Each structure stands twice: as structure tokens, then as C-alpha cells.
């Protein structure tokens, strides 16, 4: 089978984009892992698939697969790339595009100059809906992981996130603690582990150990979850710049009942065809 694809990234979080409307594509776990493999395949953090929408209030279905082959509910950096991709593929000429993901309906807005804004929907804090095992909903939780007492917030953006505050992201034990979060029963579907350094009330640095992919250069839903956690702790203002190695995301949230808005860049790297 020959598959046409486009390689894209959002601040270095990189994706293989596949248009499954204009071509017939069958993807199983092993195929996804092969395409995502940086030595044996194309290489990416996530593989993103465009499909016809099954519902009237969305234009497309947006499916997300981590490089370990697992299908997941949401991908923020990928959503921005998705907007650029469906326009470049000629699938739409709209600048505001509602799409359906396994984590819910999101709306993508092309701002021009390669910036895209995504209405990521409202964050979910109820532990059972994250899912996260806890007696009650709290702003922060404490658990022993990797022989350390870890304090974190638990937030879902359609996908699960644990957000920790650190003095310096450069010194954070991202791999050790990030891995430990994947192996604890308190997150029954595993979790994306974010390490946030607050610089001031409107600027943070962030590293994320992603579920199913390991540490990535950027994580859009991770940035959203981190800002929600910081605002709920009274540490951040409503609009925050998330400073990442390859550039910045702007995240804003007006509080409970409001959607999280994310704005950031998208980059198309190359188009290709792969025979599998
Ligand atoms: N690893 C995530 C999916 C990709 C999220 C990330 N790349 C983003 O930009 O939000 C998960 O398993 O929920």
C-alpha cells in the first residue's frame, strides 16, 4: 500500500499527517508504530488522520495516534497543524474549522502568518472523568512516585495531564518522574506529565513527558493543562505565554465554565509517499 503523507510540526512536536478522505488507508497499531519510527519509518511523535465527520456540527474527524501506536483523545499542537493541512489538501477553504476528536469537538481558526488558534474546550477536573483515582476533587494532590513526594494537579483536556510546579525545568527529573507516572494505578489510562516553571504571572516554561511518546519538544494540551492548574492555584493571570525551546504558545482561560484558547505556529516540513 502506498500512503501519501505530510510531515509537519508545532514547535518541534512533530507529526505525520494522513488524508484518509482522498486516499484509502488502513492503519493498525503496528503500521502506526512503523510510520512513527525514526529509524525504520518516517518518524514522528504522533500520527494524525483526517477522516470524514460522522456528525453534522463538525467538518472532519481528527484521529490521533501516539508513536507507540495507541489512539488517544486529543493533541493540541496537532490540531493547529490539522487546520493548515486540511486547507493545503484542498479539503476546505474555511478559516474556522470545527473538528471531532475522541476527546470532543474543538474549533480551529487560521489566523494567517502561520498562526492557528484552537478553542480546546473546557478543562475537566472531576477525577473520575480524567481518569484519576482520588477520594475527592482537589486543586493539588500528593503521591509518592519514584521514591519522591510529588505534588501535582490533575486536569483533562480530553486527554489526561498531571502538572507539577518546579523551580527550574532544566533541573527537573522529567524522564524518571514522567516514566513513574506511566506505571502508577492512580492514572488507569496513564498520563501526560507536565513540569512547569513559573517565571511571573504571565510567563512560564514547560517540559512534558508525554504518554505514549516520551518527552516532546512541545505539548499543546500539556500547555493548556498547565495554565489551568496555575490559574486554579492563583499563580497565573488569564493569558499566559508558554516559553518552549522552539518558540511560544499563548494560552488563555477565563476560569471554570470557559474554554481554554491556544494560539501558536504551524510548520509544514515536506510531503512524501511511503510504501508499506
Ligand atoms: N501524548 C498525548 C497525545 C498528544 C498530545 C500532544 N502532542 C499535544 O500537542 O497536545 C496523549 O497521549 O494524551
Residue pair 273/35 in contact (Cβ under 8 Å)? The answer is no
* Maximum Cα–Cα distance across the chain: 53
Q: Name the residue among 186, 164, 170 with its Cα closest to residue 245.
A: 170
Question: What does the alpha-carbon distance between residue 229 and residue 162 come to, in Å, rounded to a whole number?
Answer: 9
| CB-ligand 1 contact for 230 (6 Å cutoff) | no
Cβ atoms of 25 and 258 within 8 Å: the answer is no
pLDDT at 238 exceeding the cut of 90: yes
Give the model confidence (pLDDT) of 12-66 as tens digits: 999 999 999 999 998 999 999 999 999 999 999 999 999 999 999 999 999 999 9
**Is 219 an annotated catalytic residue?**
yes
Domain extent listing, the chain? 2-118+265-275, 127-258
210 known member of a binding site? yes
Pocket test for ligand 1, best of 15, 32, 49, 66 (most atoms within 8 A of CB): 66
Percent of the chain with pLDDT over 70: 100
Q: Which ligand 1 atom is nearest residue 45's CA?
A: 7
* Whether the CB of 219 sits within 6 Å of ligand 1: yes
Which of 128, 187, 120 has its CA nearest to residue 158?
A: 120
The 10s digit of each residue's pLDDT in 54-90 is: 999 999 999 999 999 999 999 999 999 999 999 999 9
Q: Is 113 annotated as a binding residue?
A: no
Beta strands in the chain (DSSP E): 2-10, 13-19, 46-52, 60-66, 71-72, 96-101, 104-112, 115-119, 141-145, 148-156, 160-165, 192-200, 203-210, 214-216, 239-244, 247-253, 260-265, 267-275
Residue (of 194, 202, 200) closest to 224 by Cα position: 194
What does the pLDDT look like over 160-200, one tens digit per residue? Answer: 999 999 999 999 999 999 999 999 999 999 999 999 999 99
CATH 3.10.310.10 given to domain 127-258:
yes
Q: What is the pLDDT of residue 1?
A: 84
* Separation between Cα atoms, residue 81 and residue 114, nearest integer Å: 10
Domain 2-118+265-275: CATH superfamily is Diaminopimelate Epimerase; Chain A, domain 1 (3.10.310.10)
211 lines ligand 1 (CB under 6 A): yes
Domains 2-118+265-275 and 127-258 share a fold: yes
Ligand 1 mean position, distance from CA 74 (Å):
6
Q: Predicted ipTM?
A: 0.98
67 lines ligand 1 (CB under 6 A): no
pLDDT, position 245: 93
> What pTM, to 2 d.p., does this model score?
0.97
Residue 112 has pLDDT above 90, yes or no: no
Q: How far apart are CA 19 and CA 184, in angstroms?
A: 36
Secondary structure string (H, E, C) spanning 64-88: EEECCCCEECCCHHHHHHHHHHHHH
Whether the CB-CB separation of 122 and 258 falls below 8 Å is answered with yes
Average pLDDT, the chain: 97
What per-residue confidence (pLDDT) applies to 210? Answer: 98
In angstroms, rounded to a whole number, what is the distance separating the alpha carbons of residues 237 and 11? Answer: 23
Residue nearest to atom 11 of ligand 1 (CA): 211
Pairing of strands 192-200, 160-165: parallel
Q: What is the mean pLDDT of residues 90-109?
A: 97
pLDDT, position 276: 84
Q: Residue 233 and residue 227: Cα distance in Å, rounded?
A: 10
Distance CA 229, CA 240 (A): 12
> Which one of 44, 58, 81, 219 is the catalytic residue?
219
CB atoms within 10 A of CB 169: 19
Give the distance (Å) from ligand 1 centre to CA of residue 73: 8
Q: What separation in Å is there between the alpha carbon of 75 and the centre of ligand 1?
A: 4
- CA–CA gap between residue 231 and residue 224 (Å, rounded): 11
Q: Is 205 a residue whose pLDDT tops 90? A: yes
> Catalytic residue at 224?
no
Report pLDDT for 198. 98
Question: Residue 221 CA: which ligand 1 atom is closest?
Answer: 10
Amino acid at each position: 500500500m502506498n500512503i501519501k503523507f505530510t510531515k509537519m510540526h508545532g514547535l518541534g512536536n512533530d507529526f505525520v499527517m494522513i488524508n484518509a478522505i482522498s486516499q484509502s488507508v488502513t492503519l493498525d497499531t503496528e503500521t502506526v508504530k512503523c510510520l512513527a519510527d525514526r529509524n525504520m519509518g518516517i518518524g514522528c511523535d504522533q500520527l494524525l488522520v483526517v477522516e470524514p465527520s460522522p456528525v453534522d456540527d463538525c467538518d472532519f474527524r481528527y484521529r490521533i495516534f501516539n508513536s507507540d501506536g495507541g489512539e488517544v483523545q486529543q493533541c493540541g499542537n496537532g490540531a493547529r497543524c490539522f487546520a493548515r493541512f486540511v486547507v493545503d489538501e484542498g479539503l476546505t477553504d474555511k478559516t474556522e474549522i470545527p473538528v471531532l476528536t475522541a476527546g470532543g469537538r474543538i474549533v480551529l481558526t487560521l489566523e494567517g502568518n502561520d498562526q492557528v488558534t484552537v478553542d480546546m474546550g473546557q478543562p475537566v477536573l472531576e477525577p473520575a472523568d480524567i481518569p484519576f483515582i482520588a477520594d475527592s476533587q482537589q486543586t493539588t494532590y500528593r503521591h509518592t512516585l519514584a521514591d519522591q513526594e510529588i505534588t501535582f494537579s490533575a486536569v483533562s483536556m480530553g486527554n489526561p495531564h498531571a502538572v507539577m510546579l518546579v523551580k527550574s525545568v532544566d533541573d527537573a527529573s522529567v524522564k524518571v518522574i514522567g516514566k513513574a507516572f506511566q506505571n502508577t494505578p492512580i492514572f488507569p489510562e496513564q498520563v501526560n506529565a507536565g513540569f512547569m516553571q513559573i517565571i511571573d504571572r504571565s510567563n512560564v516554561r514547560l517540559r512534558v513527558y508525554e504518554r505514549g511518546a516520551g518527552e516532546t519538544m512541545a505539548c499543546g494540551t500539556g500547555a493548556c493543562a498547565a495554565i489551568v492548574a496555575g490559574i486554579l492555584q492563583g499563580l497565573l493571570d488569564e493569558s499566559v505565554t508558554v516559553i518552549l525551546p522552539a518558540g511560544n504558545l499563548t494560552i488563555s482561560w477565563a476560569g471554570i465554565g470557559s474554554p481554554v484558547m491556544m494560539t501558536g505556529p504551524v510548520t509544514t516540513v515536506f510531503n512524501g509517499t511511503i510504501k508499506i
